[in-house]
Structure 1
Amino acid sequence: MRSARNIALGLLAAVAVVSAADAPSDVVQLKKDTFDAFIKENSLVLAEFFAPWCGHCKALAPEYEEAATTLKEKDIKLVKVDCTEEQDLCQTYGVEGYPTLKIFRGPDNITPYSGQRKSAAITSYMIKQSLPAVSELNAETLEEFKTADKVVLVAYTDASDKASNEVYSAIAEKLRDNYLFGATNDAALAEAEGVTAPAIVLYKSFDEGKAVFSDKFDEEAIVSFTKTASTPLVGEVGPETYSDYMSAGIPLAYIFAETPEERKELGDALKPLAEKYRGKINFATIDAKAFGAHAGNLNLPTDKFPSFAIQETVKNQKFPFDIEKEITVETIGSFVEDFSAGKIEPGVKSEPIPETQEGPVTVVVGKSYEDIVLDDTKDVLIEFYAPWCGHCKALAPKYEELAALYGDEYKDKVVIAKVDATANDVPDEIRGFPTIKLYPAGAKSEPVTYSGSRTVEDLIKFVKENGKYKAEVVEKAAEEETPIAPAATETASSEAAKETEHDEL
């Protein structure tokens, strides 16, 4: 479980750090003339490319230091490079933002670090990188391996069962960044665990402690089992887990509460429901004091807790529970049952549908999204914007010009539209503003995201190449302007942090 979603969790407040000059450090700072030799001398290195002024780098610093100290005894080195001093070195490794973390297994084997940026997560991730995809276990090493991480998997197989061993090895190669994988052919160990080969036992430091997969070894079935069994019955939504829940592919039930005691009480009360819907709906508490603003994204009040809502993460639909009702296993049980049966309509946050469309750009709101964007007879280019976004404001006149060009010849075939994604629910994954997508006629389930320069000429080309009607118009002659770079987007978390005093999802 990894990766990121549309309105992501804002970072927690940066903590004060002790500079390397004031305290010993287990993080090695490298320069251009020392980097290559160090990488060649050490088999596994995690390198951070940073800038001293970078806020995210400052927040990472104490976590990185702690991880370096923990990993020191395992001979896994953590290094850092100051890109304000070593510009050529950072450019060599394609550093475009800070901090950038890369894993080096020698100078020619380089992969991006894709784990979380907390000490425990860095440590866990790098230990996984240091081990083979599957660790061979025996009676002496099994017990220690079981508790080597929050979640580990051990396959109990027969050495002659080539098919099962190959399936397991293939899964381990794909998921090695997420989990530790071990295996043993010792029948006595399998018997001691109460399983018959072939079987997989997932050991975990929470809930019931372990789960067993005893069906025929099938990659899809084992991956599904692993994702379900490794997710806590009632977890916690926070900076380290949000993207995991969003990428799980199943709905997420939020339990908002302001105190740890209340979150525990409600979480324990709803555990029977979490067990009943395990693998179908994830349940998690969320700190309403720190992240109460996210309640608004789920169409709940942001000042009244506790509260409950379900988010259909794939379609980004929100199902808020009546704020006036008490949260009990009975009331929530009935709500979740109705949700599962499709008896509840999603709540839709929407501005009023415009009585008339003024200007060439069609204004879309939550309640008109399906009628306009998903109109299967038209190619629809839509901009997802935020009112505070500077890049969106810079794009506006060009977008108006673009829309005007399609106004006559293609008015019944091509729609140029925009939606304020902060004031309206949209079923799309939006990671930054502006985001531009084309929904071709006849292929609404396969939208194409625009990533080129935001010039009228390039947008025309994009519509022609990806739309059903291959519509082509000619840009009017205008004064030459500097295009906005395709990478110039403003994320919700970064800009919203300037205008609010709370952290948001």
Structure 2
Amino acid sequence: MRYSVPLCGLLASLALASDVHELKKDTFKSFVEEHDLVLAEFFAPWCGHCKALAPEYESAATTLKEKDIPLAKVDCTEEQDLCQQYGVEGYPTLKVFRGPDNITPYTGQRKADAIISYMTKQSLPAVSDITKDTIEEFKTADKVVLIAYFAADDKASNETFTAVANGLRDNYLFGATNDAALAKAEGVEQPGLVLYKSFDEGKDVFAEKFEKEAIESFAKVSSVPLVGEVGPETYSGYMAAGIPLAYIFAETPEEREELAKELKPLAQKHKGVINFATIDAKAFGQHAGNLNLEVGKFPAFAIQKTDKNQKFPYDQDKKITEKDIGKFVDDFVAGNVEPSIKSEPIPEKQEGPVTVVVAKNYDELVINNEKDVLLEFYAPWCGHCKALAPKYEELAQLYQSDELSKLVTVAKVDATANDVPDEIQGFPTIKLFPAGKKDSPIDYSGSRTIEDLAQFIKENGSHKVEAAPAEKPELRDEKEDEELPHQAPAASKVSDKADEATESVKSAASEATESAKGVTKDIHDEL
């Protein structure tokens, strides 16, 4: 019994042992030099997103340890110089290190499975050599795997496939074999390609000409489930897919499964044209409002054109059946369904220097004119938007002369009350629409000062307009100035970035939630 206390202590220490390496300034460089591949998280203990990531990161570290891929973390509240050295501006920041100088941002999702999948891909060559002894294991090495079959002397196909793999290695595993017997066993003629997946029918065979663009398109379409599920880990992928997304809202897993089965033939019919996905109406029901559906009235169906952010809600008084939804989708594809547009009333007159834009006058004021238009997308509940408002008014005032007002418009739109063409990821978002180049707006990412915003308009606008001089402010009392807090520029920048990250909204779903209630929501209601 005398060993019970030490034994308990040992067991406790083992329970608390972590597979994530905690690094400091004096150990970081040597650690990344000793390992071919390292994923490092730069975090702050107070950061909510860091806390949410922690168990996922730990789980991934335990699994990847077996593959000799270490995961590390750096506490930026203790190692400020180290974090500044690697350009950390928000938390958590994840970076992939191949030595101390070869650094790339981690672009995967913040879930254990996604981290494991991403880092496994990074550890392999762009294209793995496949043999009869490794092919079966490789087919199931990830959710989506592409294997090319071509002859050893087919240099053109080899180069084409390698180019595709180099461009998409973050997304999929790529393998290749010149074993003709393996191609024959798969029923593939050389050069051929098969995409293996852990869902739907299990594999898709490439049937087009072996060219880069065709292969990339094939991978993009075939890697998506016929009827997937929209959630925090898949939302951004659907938004970036470049084709419309059909949402199937339902409150229970059983109902979602039933509706997915009902509409799967439609998903097969329109494969590559429209993505279909269910969505948990209990967890993400507020997102229905963003699609101009009535929140709380489920099940429901809507299509979103992700490139233009147009919404096409299906009549919620009608039942969701293959026949009825099939006609709605066919009409949508044929261009016979008008988008639903949410808009505030057009102001009877513009009051103040900042032009108020709503959905109904968006094209007129932003697109169909020959002005450089600076547009702020804001939310009424957004603290940073409120802080920006007086400075934005002052900025707009600089362009109010008869001459300058013909060339520049400073405007704002409430993106929670109006449908806008862009998918806005956070507030405030500021974009410049230059005259003659309205289809290529420029995002503003600088500091929110009048001087910097005016310089941004001058440098990026088509008219290169110099703002009118600002009126000189009244002099402050010396004592009042002495009482103002003084902050180092570097600290101010990091603080601004941290605040912006806090205000960032992951998706239109959380935007709808926040605008409806005006308070911070649980992460489970975000997409």
TM-score normalized by structure 1? 0.92
Are 2:374 and 1:381 equivalent residues in the alignment? Answer: yes
2:519 pairs with one of 488, 493, 498 = 498
Post-superposition shift, 1:58? 1.3
Trace 1:132-151 onto structure 2 (pairs within 5 A): 132-151=125-144
Q: Note closer, same or farther for the CA distance 1:37–1:415 as it changes in structure 2 (3 Å cut).
A: closer
- When residues 332 and 409 of structure 1 are mapped into structure 2, their CA distance, relative to the original with a 3 A threshold, is same
Tell me the distance in 2 between the aligned counterparts of 1:80 and 1:466. Answer: 39
Q: How far does residue 499 in structure 1 lie from its aligned partner after superposition?
A: 4.1
Provide the C-alpha distance between the structure 2 equivalents of 1:89 and 1:405, rounded to a whole number of angstroms: 41
Instruction: Check whether the contact 1:456–1:475 (CA below 8 A) recurs between aligned residues.
Output: no
> Which moves more between the two structures, 478-487 or 282-291?
478-487
1:143 deviates by 0.6
Q: Distance in 1 between matches of 2:379 and 2:387?
A: 12
Q: What is the CA deviation profile of residues 315-365 of structure 1, one whole-angstrom value per residue up to 9, with x for unaligned ones?
A: 010111011111111111111111111111111111111112111211111
Report how far residue 82 of structure 1 moved.
1.8
| Cα shift readout 1:352-383 (whole Å, capped 9, x = no counterpart) | 11112111211111111112111223222211
1:229-378 map, 5 Å: 229-378=222-371
Which residue matches 2:6?
A: none
Question: Across the two proteins, how many residue pairs are aligned to each other?
Answer: 487
Taking the aligned partners of 1:206 and 1:77, their CA distance within structure 2 comes to: 30
Q: After superposition, where does 1:45-444 map in structure 2 within 5 Å?
A: 45-407=38-400, 408-444=402-438
Q: Find the aligned partners of 1:104 and 1:180 in 2 and give their Cα distance.
A: 20
Deviations 1:95-126 (A, max 9, x none): 22221111122222222111111111111111
> Per-residue deviation at 1:465?
2.7
**Displacement, 1:279?**
0.4
Change (3 A) 1:265 1:360: same
Alpha-carbon distance change, 201 to 331 in structure 1, aligned in 2, over 3 angstroms: same
Q: Which runs of 5+ in 1 are unaligned?
A: 1-18
Do structure 1's residue 41 and structure 2's residue 28 form an aligned pair?
A: no
User: In 1, distance between residues paired with 2:455 and 2:24?
Assistant: 44
The answer (yes or no) to whether the contact 2:399–2:468 under 8 Å persists in 1 is no
> Can you list the C-alpha shifts for 1:125-148, whole angstroms capped at 9, x where unaligned?
111111111110111000110011
Deviations 1:23-66 (A, max 9, x none): 22222222222222222222221111222222111111111111
Cα distance in 2 for partners of 1:465, 1:92 equals: 29
Q: Give deviations 1:160-196, integer Å, cap 9, x for gaps.
A: 1100000001111111111110110000000000111
Separation of aligned partners in 2, 1:396 and 1:247? 31
* TM-score, normalised via structure 2 length: 0.88
Higher RCO (Cα < 8 Å, 6 or more apart): 1
Q: Which amino acid aligns with 1:369?
A: Y
Alignment check: 8 A CA contact 1:152 1:179 kept: yes
Residues 432, 491 of structure 1: 8 Å contact kept: yes
For residues 45 and 370 of structure 2, what CA distance do their matches in structure 1 show?
53
Q: Distance in 2 between matches of 1:57 and 1:456?
A: 33
Residues 185-194 or 460-469, more deviating:
460-469
Query: Offset at 1:201?
Result: 0.5
> Post-superposition shift, 1:22?
4.8
**Matched letter for residue 432 of structure 1:** G
Displacement of 1:296 in angstroms is 0.6
Report the CA distance between 1:20 and its aligned residue: 8.0
Which residue of 1 is the match for residue 448 of structure 2?
Answer: 454
Q: What SS class does the counterpart of residue 283 from structure 2 fall into?
A: helix
Q: Please say which of residues 358-367 and 493-502 is displaced more in the overlay.
A: 493-502
Report if aligned partners of 2:232, 2:526 keep a CA contact under 8 Å in 1: no
Could you report, residue by residue, the CA deviation over 1:434-476 in whole angstroms, capped at 9, with x for unpaired residues?
1222222222112122223323233233223333333333232
1:436, 1:450 within 8 Å by CA — same for their partners in 2? yes
- Counterparts in 2 of 1:85 and 1:399: CA distance versus 1, 3 Å: closer
2-structure distance, mates of 1:473, 1:47: 44
Higher alpha-carbon deviation: 170-179 or 412-421: 412-421
Q: Distance in 2 between matches of 1:202 and 1:412?
A: 55
Per-residue Cα deviation, 1:281-320 (whole angstroms, up to 9, x for no partner):
0000000000000001100011110000000000010111
Answering whether residue 481 of structure 2 is matched by residue 468 of structure 1, we say: no
Identity of aligned residues (%): 70
Q: Single out whichever of 427-436 and 120-129 deviates more from structure 2.
A: 427-436
Q: Is the 8 A contact 1:157 1:199 kept in 2?
A: yes
Find the counterpart in structure 2 of residue 4 from structure 1.
Answer: none
On the 8 A contact 2:288/2:294 being kept in 1, the answer is yes
Alpha-carbon shift at residue 74 of structure 1 (Å): 1.2
Q: Which deviates the most, 94-103 or 152-161? A: 94-103
Question: How far, CA to CA, are the matches of 1:335 and 1:297 in structure 2?
Answer: 20
CA distance in 1, matches of 2:264, 2:60: 33
Q: Letter of the aligned partner of 1:106 in structure 2?
A: G
